[in-house]
A and B are shown apart, each in its own frame.
With several copies, the nearest count.
Chain A
Amino acid sequence: MLRQIGLSSPDELFETVPVELRLTRPLDTPAALSEIELLSRFRGLATRNTAATRPGFLGAGAYSHYIPTIVDHIISRSEFFTAYTPYQPEISQGTLQAIFEFQTLVCQLTGMEVANASMYDGSTALAEAVLMAERVTRRSKVVACDAIHPEYLEVVNTYVQHAGIHLERVGFDENGQISKAVDSAIDDQTAALVVQSPNFFGCVEDITMLAQKAHDRGALLIVVVTEAISLGLLKPPGACGADIVVAEGQSFGVPLSFGGPYVGLFATLEKYARQIPGRLVGEAFDKEGRRGFVLTLATREQHIRREKATSNICTNEGLIALAATVYLETMGRQGLQEVARQCAQKAAYAARRIGELEGFSLPFSAPRFNELVVRAPMNASDLLARLASQNNITGGLALSRYFPDRLNDFLLCVTELNTRSEIDSLVEGLAKVVANSLLTTGA
């Protein structure tokens, strides 16, 4: 081939690259590994991820739920995972129809009118929601509750820092819900009130009431959900009056995979459709009147609008949105309610058992879904570390990671995958560790 195009050596392919810029040495990266070697290398690395094999009660934005076997089979279809963004509808209807179904399912679950084709994840979806609220209301102040996932708040901070948006924080009360201070925080410069429900502490917020408060001042209510399974049981934010609902879709058939790829859900009201960030798929027809689907309202996007686009997002989380779609359609109307029910019931059981434990308490009294804050009679990090080493259980997340002053608190998550016996051994483990450490400190 080289000769055919009149070249005599591969180097000539790079004739337009100044000689002094051409790399004259091999890259200092390893030599090629065969499949056998690579797989054994990565399997070896995997064994050092000890948390992956342990029964666990970690949640806080990433949840281990049952994933039907067919999900991976379907997203592993060559036609889905090796396709590009569906720019050519005539040969991309598979992807397009799947996204249309995804958008519909997101609307049904959140109780909203329109949803997009996905965002990077829940945290960036929230940041984009805040930017959208500013566009919609032309107001520059945003009120956010401290009980939102701390990493989500960090991401929002990063996104809004140069957008001239002032982020005001409101605390939470002794029940674990947003504090009354919210009333005074919202004023007529407020673009939106942002709350998470169930919030970072697992407490369910009174969204209907908060929507009222926001709307009274002409502000939007943005609701963010990190545990999307809760939508199978809790009143959908849309039905409570939310204007924008964003969520992390990882709970819908997506593996934990050390934090990604996940999928951000983004839903709002019809009237804001043209303000939505990201891709939208809509119905369309050909000359013969055959129904199909296309990417639509592209004028919002950077391909056309350049810097005036509603967002810079281009590649999103297509395949993960597909996984979520397969999950939702497989679990279906009954399954989604059943999973939610089991999560809530098992968490309630765990709460009861732990509440009865000598020295332990549950600081927050608000209704919860499947996460709860536990207050231990000792340092939570130490407690969890020993629980892991002595009982081989990952007991949850020490809140000091995000709230340095909450030394004895940890966040516990229970899902349908946690069997009763796992919960029981967690409870026993907690008791044992505390007992032992009291002994040692006592001694």
Chain B
Amino acid sequence: MDSDITKVTTHLSHNEALIFDRSQSGRVGYRLPPLDVDETPIEQIVPAEFQRTDDLEGVPEVSEVDVIRHFIRMSTWNYSIDLGMYPLGSCTMKYNSRLNEAVARIPGFANLHPLASEEDAQGALQVIYELEQHLAEITGLPAVSLQPAAGAHGEMTGVMIVRAFIDARDGEGASARRRTMLIPDSAHGTNPASAHLSGFSVKTIKSTSAGLTDLDHLRQLCAAGDVAGFMLTNPNTLGLFETKIQEICRIVHEAGGLVYMDGANMNALVGVARPGDMGVDVIHLNLHKTFSTPHGGGGPGCGPCCCTKELEPFLPVPRVVKRDTDEGYRLDFDRPQSIGRVKAFFGNYGMMLRALAYIQTHGNDGLREATEAAVLNARYIAHGLANDYDRPFPTPPMHEVVFTDKRQTRKGVHTLDIAKRLIDYGFHPMTIYFPLIVPGAMLIEPTESVGRQELDQFIDSMASIAREAVEDPELVRNAPHLTRIGRLDEAAAARRPVLRWQPKTSTGTA
């Protein structure tokens, strides 16, 4: 069955119950120093009716070694970058340097309170300032805010800036008639959701058969005169560079709108081309993609928003600025036109430290080399899979490439099956069924963090799955076969959702 599988085999895998089922009354995994102040009768501190009465029933009681084994065992059930290539398209799963982790744990940063006085946090403020400078140079957009906590958060911030700018430019009345945000049908779902959050109604722009923005459709929609902006991803979610980007910007600008770029795919451009030079007005970046801050099984991220000088007044408060008195830095809260705060304090600071370390250890040459390697690897895969899978768009891809299950569906094997079978071959699957406009899409992004050997292994595995799809479709349809658990019934899970553990004889939790 797995004759062609070279990357993995099977081995013992430890089971582990939910911590709640491991709990044993009376066990503890902590030790605190004894209370060193004379005790006040607790009712004198908090009246009885304000106190908890459930004695935290149900909260686990386990020893330290129980906790260690619990999580170490569970961790072995995960795939991770450190185990191999993680070709999730649009997610840029690149190597997370240990050095950057060490930097984020330097006590002078890890133990710094966000409300420490400017005087007491000069090193931390300088980090923010430097990172903003670097990102401005990389994007060609001079004004930067690091406050957004993730890509979608950066989108919301950027779109609100667009709106604030138009309100200021056109004045209440006129701007009220500009409430349309144009978004390509290939865009990531967060784009329309973020636009909606900012009170825009979304109009969808078609993609051409070549997978690029349909300029005629764009002109047509712009003609309506209600366009506040256009949110496009470049390279777009098909991994194709929007060759007409300059013209696109011109059209939108002439229609009185602004161009928002989703920078999730900047790993194709860093050091090679700059959105600011293309005519883009505002962009968000994903430091947890392009700048290698670890994805952590679902975050934290950091979604900086970079924009033109024109838009700078609208960025969130506070901003970090140089003091004119000396070399130091200070916080500037006095920005009357700002859209306001999008997050408490300064954003996901720990991610900023890691991203700055990434930029400074790579150096300007290293950043460009990473981009070249990322694109080269995607091209190599595009080339290597051409014989076995249908590739809807012939244009040479940038950092990621999309294929479909068109040829395999004839035998009843679909993208989901191919993805699951890829698991048996020891790879994390690519992004599937995204972008939505490509039926059975398989979006593959190798990133620069994978060597020739593993790329070939991936291509061979995909080829042999293609063979299996013909010779033994059942095998593929029932994959994965080598995992500790099979395909889970997600439909049933959603029908009667069980979202938490409950004590066998539930007495409620408070």
Q: Are chains A and B touching in the complex at the 8 Å CB cutoff?
A: yes
A133-161 interface mask toward B, CB cutoff 8 Å, 1 = contact, 0 = none? 00000000000000001011011011101
Measured between alpha carbons, how far is A334 from B56 in the docked complex, in Å? 8
A1-17 interface mask toward B, CB cutoff 8 Å, 1 = contact, 0 = none? 11011110010011111
Chain B contact residue count (CB 8 A cutoff): 195
7 more contacts with CB within 8 A, not counting A14-B272, A61-B115, A84-B86, are A14-B375, A31-B365, A81-B296, A87-B88, A161-B339, A256-B111, A282-B499
Which residues of A lie under 8 Å from residue B246 when comparing CB positions? 18, 21
B376 near A13 (CB under 8 angstroms)?
A: yes
Nearest chain A residue, comparing its CB with the CB of B71: A74
Contact of B364 among A27, A81, A317 (CB under 8 A): A27
The 6 closest A-B pairs by CB, nearest first: A46-B108, A32-B363, A259-B345, A319-B296, A318-B298, A162-B199
B46 near A80 (CB under 8 angstroms)?
A: no
Contact of A257 among B60, B61, B349 (CB under 8 A): B349
A302 near B199 (CB under 8 angstroms)?
A: no
Measured between alpha carbons, how far is A361 from B106 in the docked complex, in Å? 38
A13 near B379 (CB under 8 angstroms)?
A: yes
Contact of B360 among A33, A159, A293 (CB under 8 A): A33
Q: Can you list 10 A-B contacts with CB-CB less than 8 angstroms, sorted by A residue number?
A: A27-B364, A41-B360, A64-B111, A92-B79, A99-B298, A255-B110, A287-B487, A312-B155, A335-B30, A388-B120
B35-53 interface mask toward A, CB cutoff 8 Å, 1 = contact, 0 = none? 1111110101111011111
- Is B103 located at the chain interface by the 8 A CB criterion? yes
- CB under 8 Å from chain B, chain A span 362-409: 367-369, 384-385, 388, 394, 397, 401
- Is A175 located at the chain interface by the 8 A CB criterion? no
- Is B312 located at the chain interface by the 8 A CB criterion? no
- Is B224 located at the chain interface by the 8 A CB criterion? no
With contacts A26-B368, A162-B197, A342-B35 known, is A91 near B150, CB below 8 A?
A: no
B32 near A92 (CB under 8 angstroms)?
A: no
A324-336 interface mask toward B, CB cutoff 8 Å, 1 = contact, 0 = none? 0010111111111
- Is A313 located at the chain interface by the 8 A CB criterion? yes
Nearest-CB distance from B247 to chain A (Å)?
A: 10
With contacts A13-B372, A62-B345, A258-B109 known, is A83 near B273, CB below 8 A?
A: no
B368 near A320 (CB under 8 angstroms)?
A: no
Which residues of A lie under 8 Å from residue B75 when comparing CB positions? 74, 77, 79-80, 94
Which of these binds chain B: A210-218, A343-351, A429-437?
A343-351
A97 near B18 (CB under 8 angstroms)?
A: yes
* Number of A-B pairs, beta carbon distance below 8 Å: 686
B107 near A53 (CB under 8 angstroms)?
A: yes
Which of these binds chain B: A115-123, A166-174, A179-187, A188-196?
A115-123
Measured between alpha carbons, how far is A73 from B96 in the docked complex, in Å? 12
Which residues of B lie under 8 Å from residue A335 when comparing CB positions? 28-30, 32
**Of A13, A346, A419, most B-chain CB atoms within 10 Å:** A13
Measured between alpha carbons, how far is A25 from B489 in the docked complex, in Å? 53
Nearest-CB distance from A20 to chain B (Å)?
A: 8
A247-287 interface mask toward B, CB cutoff 8 Å, 1 = contact, 0 = none? 01000000111111101000000000100000111111111
Which residues of A lie under 8 Å from residue B351 when comparing CB positions? 260-261
Nearest chain A residue, comparing its CB with the CB of B431: A87
A52 near B109 (CB under 8 angstroms)?
A: yes
A92 near B77 (CB under 8 angstroms)?
A: yes
Contact of B485 among A89, A161, A283 (CB under 8 A): A89
B160 near A162 (CB under 8 angstroms)?
A: yes
- Is B81 located at the chain interface by the 8 A CB criterion? yes
- Is B74 located at the chain interface by the 8 A CB criterion? yes
- CB under 8 Å from chain B, chain A span 35-54: 35-39, 41-54
B112 near A233 (CB under 8 angstroms)?
A: no
Nearest-CB distance from B258 to chain A (Å)?
A: 16
B500 near A23 (CB under 8 angstroms)?
A: no
B423 near A91 (CB under 8 angstroms)?
A: yes
- Is A299 located at the chain interface by the 8 A CB criterion? yes
Which residues of A lie under 8 Å from residue B16 when comparing CB positions? 97
Nearest chain B residue, comparing its CB with the CB of A81: B294
A332 near B71 (CB under 8 angstroms)?
A: no
A155 near B343 (CB under 8 angstroms)?
A: yes
B111 near A42 (CB under 8 angstroms)?
A: no
A38 near B61 (CB under 8 angstroms)?
A: no
Nearest-CB distance from B124 to chain A (Å)?
A: 5
B71 near A260 (CB under 8 angstroms)?
A: no
Which residues of B lie under 8 Å from residue A199 when comparing CB positions? none
Which residues of A lie under 8 Å from residue B29 when comparing CB positions? 68, 329-332, 335
Measured between alpha carbons, how far is A319 from B74 in the docked complex, in Å? 14
Measured between alpha carbons, how far is A173 from B501 in the docked complex, in Å? 41
With contacts A152-B344, A157-B340, A294-B493 known, is A21 near B278, CB below 8 A?
A: yes
Measured between alpha carbons, how far is A256 from B120 in the docked complex, in Å? 14
- Is B410 located at the chain interface by the 8 A CB criterion? no
Which residues of A lie under 8 Å from residue B88 when comparing CB positions? 84, 87
Which residues of B lie under 8 Å from residue A73 when comparing CB positions? 68, 98, 101
- CB under 8 Å from chain A, chain B span 476-510: 480, 483-490, 492-494, 497-501, 509-510
Measured between alpha carbons, how far is A101 from B499 in the docked complex, in Å? 9
Which residues of B lie under 8 Å from residue A336 when comparing CB positions? 56, 59
Which residues of B lie under 8 Å from residue A130 when comparing CB positions? none
With contacts A53-B111, A91-B79 known, is A286 near B342, CB below 8 A?
A: no
- Is A355 located at the chain interface by the 8 A CB criterion? no
- Is A246 located at the chain interface by the 8 A CB criterion? no
With contacts A46-B106, A69-B102, A332-B28 known, is A51 near B112, CB below 8 A?
A: yes
B348 near A261 (CB under 8 angstroms)?
A: yes
Which residues of B lie under 8 Å from residue A93 when comparing CB positions? 74, 77-78, 484-485
B68 near A70 (CB under 8 angstroms)?
A: yes
- Is A98 located at the chain interface by the 8 A CB criterion? yes
A345 near B39 (CB under 8 angstroms)?
A: yes
Nearest-CB distance from A229 to chain B (Å)?
A: 12
With contacts A162-B198, A329-B60 known, is A45 near B126, CB below 8 A?
A: yes
Which residues of A lie under 8 Å from residue B193 when comparing CB positions? 302, 305-307, 309, 311-312
Measured between alpha carbons, how far is A254 from B361 in the docked complex, in Å? 23
Nearest chain A residue, comparing its CB with the CB of B106: A46
Nearest-CB distance from B394 to chain A (Å)?
A: 12
Which residues of B lie under 8 Å from residue A101 when comparing CB positions? 18-20, 501
- Is B309 located at the chain interface by the 8 A CB criterion? no
With contacts A79-B82, A162-B199, A309-B193 known, is A16 near B395, CB below 8 A?
A: yes
Which residues of B lie under 8 Å from residue A441 when comparing CB positions? none
Contact of B102 among A34, A39, A316 (CB under 8 A): A39
Nearest chain B residue, comparing its CB with the CB of A92: B78
Which residues of A lie under 8 Å from residue B278 when comparing CB positions? 21
A282 near B364 (CB under 8 angstroms)?
A: no
Which of these binds chain A: B215-223, B237-245, B460-468?
B237-245
- Is A88 located at the chain interface by the 8 A CB criterion? yes
Which residues of B lie under 8 Å from residue A5 when comparing CB positions? 376, 379-380, 382-383
Nearest-CB distance from B508 to chain A (Å)?
A: 8
- CB under 8 Å from chain A, chain B span 156-199: 156, 160, 163, 188-190, 192-199
Contact of B71 among A30, A77, A149, A341 (CB under 8 A): A77
B189 near A306 (CB under 8 angstroms)?
A: yes
Which residues of A lie under 8 Å from residue B111 when comparing CB positions? 52-53, 64, 255-256
Measured between alpha carbons, how far is A69 from B105 in the docked complex, in Å? 12
Contact of A32 among B71, B103, B365 (CB under 8 A): B365
A107 near B500 (CB under 8 angstroms)?
A: yes
- Is A322 located at the chain interface by the 8 A CB criterion? yes
Measured between alpha carbons, how far is A101 from B342 in the docked complex, in Å? 29
- CB under 8 Å from chain A, chain B span 418-434: 419-420, 423, 428-429, 434
Which residues of A lie under 8 Å from residue B127 when comparing CB positions? 45
- Is A60 located at the chain interface by the 8 A CB criterion? yes
Nearest-CB distance from B262 to chain A (Å)?
A: 12
